[in-house]
């Protein structure tokens, strides 16, 4: 980390990789993590996009609908920040 004369902080790509790894392990959302670590959210988002693309390191999980013969079903998804989504029919 390098402190510039204008007071801004410059980090290397390696430093941002470590920061993003810490974020993934934290279970926090980007805003909360940046607030806790005193990072600019815009810088965090820019580096996340640059290093990992729009999908990030997170795996995509396809969910298929229940078979037409099923009269009811339920699905619960727990997000990294602890929020839960409930779907049912």
Query: Model's pTM, two decimal places?
Result: 0.57
**What pLDDT, in 10s, does the model give residues 9-46?**
889 999 999 999 999 999 899 999 999 999 999 999 99
Report the pLDDT value the prediction gives residue 86, as an integer from 0 to 100: 87
- Which tokens sit at 51? 């290093």
Phi-psi region of 6 (alpha: psi -120 to 50; beta: other; left: phi over 0): alpha
C-alpha radius of gyration, the chain, whole number: 19
């Amino acid at each position: 980390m390098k402190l510039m004369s204008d007071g801004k902080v410059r980090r290397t790509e390696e430093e941002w990789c470590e920061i993003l790894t810490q974020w993934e392990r934290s279970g926090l959302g980007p805003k909360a993590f940046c607030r806790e670590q005193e990072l600019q959210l815009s810088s965090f988002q820019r580096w996340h996009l640059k290093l990992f693309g729009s999908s990030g390191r997170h795996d995509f999980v396809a969910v298929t609908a229940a078979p037409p013969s099923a009269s009811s079903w339920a699905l619960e998804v727990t997000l990294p920040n602890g929020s839960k989504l409930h779907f049912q029919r």
